[in-house]
């Protein structure tokens, strides 16, 4: 089965939300012919994502304070369902993502104008409703049938909760914020449904890179960093690097040479899009032990760069997967000079 970016197809009705329909009918699939993801992995990822935003700062995210809305730099809306929690995250730099507790999500929505406009409205309304929220240091998930808002401000994290039915009725003071959040989800849904050649090309790179990494892990137990490039003629090519001196070079040295080769190819027009595949260890957290993972960073000139992570373990010579997740990242190859110049 083809490995693709974690995306979702959701149905939203203003007032009465139908995100739950996607949760109920989405099957759990195998990735690359290996075992399905564990529900615990999926829930764990969502919790780490939200905690990163809720405990982070505007400086840690590299956001210009001038872009804040009345001191508000981010907002989260979460809706609790029997099947999981839908988490919408919008930051004032335009970053917009939607994640579900059972896996799947949309990242990089800010590359679409309609999403940016809807997210900006959501943030403005959140800044207007901070007086309806209270300061908090705890970040509980919503209960089933409940909606929780979190506003990240220069004074700390503010929160409010209410029943979904009350908000959907339109008379609650936070109903406008609730509807604005669903306006963002509606636009994200459109990006997931509309044909997108860049997404398909990125999926091709991810699928090829992840499958190759799994092959190397099962055959040799590891691999050096390598690249996957979409050539100008539409064909996919692997890109390897070697210093020509050492039989067992350091991975960081290989990675530096790989970056150089991919940048040169992209600058010359030989590569339209690229992926960098590396082995890594996800650091230990208070609730989890370190885990080995494959990281694939995908860069395309028509989309925001995305880093995908596949935790794994080797059991009896086979790769057993965790949950494939994705997050926005900084460019290393395409647009690297403009970003760092």
Task: Kindly state whether residues 307 and 233 are assigned to the same domain.
Answer: yes
Between 51 and 126, where is the model more confident?
126
Helix (H, G, I), strand (E, B) or coil at 117: helix
Number of neighbouring beta carbons within 10 Å of residue 116: 17
Does 238 lie in the same domain as 150?
no
Mean pLDDT value across residues 243-263: 88
Tokens representing 313 are 């373990």
Q: What is the dihedral of CA 109, 114, 118, 119, to 10 degrees?
A: 30
Domain shared by 112 and 213, yes or no = no
Q: Does a structural domain hold residue 302?
A: yes
The pLDDT tens digits of the residues spanning 205-236 come to 998 999 999 999 999 999 999 999 999 999 99
* Co-location of 122 and 179 in the same domain: yes
14 domain residue, yes or no: no
SS3 20: helix
Residue-level pLDDT at 303: 84
Q: Is the pLDDT assigned to residue 341 strictly greater than 60?
A: no
Q: In the Cβ-directed half-sphere of 256, how many Cα atoms lie within 13 Å?
A: 5
The answer to whether residues 134 and 78 belong to one domain is yes
Could you list the beta-strand ranges (E) of the chain. Answer: 72-81, 84-91, 96-100, 105-106, 134-136, 146-153, 156-163, 226-231, 236-239, 271-282, 291-300, 303-315, 318-321, 325-328
Q: Are residues 147 and 202 in the same domain?
A: no
pLDDT in tens, 52-87: 889 988 888 888 888 899 999 999 999 988 777 889
Question: Is residue 59 domain-resident?
Answer: yes
Is residue 174's pLDDT more than 80? yes
Q: How confident is the model at residue 165 (pLDDT cuts 50, 70, 90)?
A: confident
Please provide the distance, in angstroms rounded to a whole number, between the alpha carbons at the two ends of the chain. Answer: 40
Q: Which of 159, 174, 193 is the last residue of a domain?
A: 193
- Rounded distance, CA 74 to CA 155, Å? 12
**107 in a domain, yes or no?**
yes
Instruction: Please report whether residue 3 resides in a domain.
Output: no
Give the residue-averaged pLDDT of 108-122.
84
How many angstroms separate the Cα of 274 from the Cα of each of 32, 229, 277, 298?
A: 20, 4, 10, 6
- One domain for residues 214 and 150: no
Q: Are residues 157 and 232 in the same domain?
A: no
Supply the pLDDT for residue 327: 78
pLDDT at residue 340, rounded to an integer: 53
77 in the same domain as 65: yes
Between CA 249 and CA 271, with CA 202 as vertex, the angle to 5 degrees is 60
Shared domain for 239 and 279, answered yes or no, is yes
Burial of 248 (0-12, 13-18, 19+ CB in 10 A): exposed
Q: Which of the 8 DSSP states describes residue 323?
A: -
Q: Residue 181 and residue 118: Cα distance in Å, rounded?
A: 8
Residue 5 counted as domain residue: no
For tokens 């694939």, name the residue. 296
331 domain-assigned: yes
Q: Which domain holds residue 96?
A: 19-193
∠ Cα 189 190 193 (to 5°): 90
Query: How far is it, in rounded angstroms, from Cα 274 to Cα 290?
Result: 28
Please give the tally of structural domains in the chain: 2
C-alpha angle with apex 323: 234 to 27, nearest 5 degrees?
A: 85
What is the per-residue pLDDT for 196? 67
Q: Which of 176, 193, 210 is the last residue of a domain?
A: 193
Residue 181 has a pLDDT of 93
Each residue's pLDDT tens digit, 279-316: 998 775 555 566 889 999 999 998 888 888 888 888 88
pTM of the model: 0.53
Residue 296 lies in a domain: yes
Same structural domain, 282 and 310: yes
- The answer to whether residues 315 and 244 belong to one domain is yes
Structural domain ending residue among the three candidates 193, 226, 245? 193
């Amino acid at each position: 089965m083809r490995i693709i970016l974690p995306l979702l197809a959701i149905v939203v009705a203003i007032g009465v939300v139908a995100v739950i329909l996607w949760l109920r009918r989405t099957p759990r699939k195998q990735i690359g012919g290996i075992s399905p993801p564990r529900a615990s992995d999926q829930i764990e990822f969502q919790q780490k994502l939200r905690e990163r935003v809720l405990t982070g700062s505007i400086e840690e995210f590299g956001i210009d304070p001038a872009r804040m809305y009345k001191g508000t730099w981010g907002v989260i809306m979460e809706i609790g369902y029997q099947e999981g929690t839908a988490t919408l995250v919008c930051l004032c730099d335009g970053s917009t993502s939607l994640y579900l507790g059972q896996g799947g999500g949309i990242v990089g929505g800010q590359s679409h104008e309609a999403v940016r406009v809807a997210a900006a409205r959501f943030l403005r309304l959140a800044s207007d409703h901070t007086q309806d929220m209270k300061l908090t240091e705890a970040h509980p998930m919503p209960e089933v049938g409940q909606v929780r808002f979190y506003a990240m401000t220069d004074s700390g994290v503010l929160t409010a909760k209410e029943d979904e039915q009350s908000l959907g009725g339109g008379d609650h003071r936070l109903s406008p914020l609730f509807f604005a959040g669903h306006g963002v989800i509606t636009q994200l849904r459109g990006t997931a449904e509309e044909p997108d050649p860049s997404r398909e090309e990125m999926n091709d790179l991810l699928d090829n890179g992840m499958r190759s990494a799994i092959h190397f892990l099962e055959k040799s137990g590891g691999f050096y960093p390598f690249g996957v490039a979409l050539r100008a003629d539409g064909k996919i090519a692997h890109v390897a690097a070697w210093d020509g001196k050492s039989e067992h070079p350091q991975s960081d040295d290989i990675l530096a040479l790989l970056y150089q080769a991919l940048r040169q190819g992209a600058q010359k027009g030989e590569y339209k899009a690229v992926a960098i595949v590396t082995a890594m260890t996800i650091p230990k957290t208070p609730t989890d032990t370190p885990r080995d993972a494959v990281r694939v960073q995908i860069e395309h000139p028509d989309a925001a760069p995305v880093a995908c992570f596949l935790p794994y373990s080797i059991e009896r010579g086979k790769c057993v997967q965790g949950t494939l997740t994705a997050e926005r990242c900084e460019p290393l190859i395409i647009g690297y000079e403009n970003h760092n110049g």
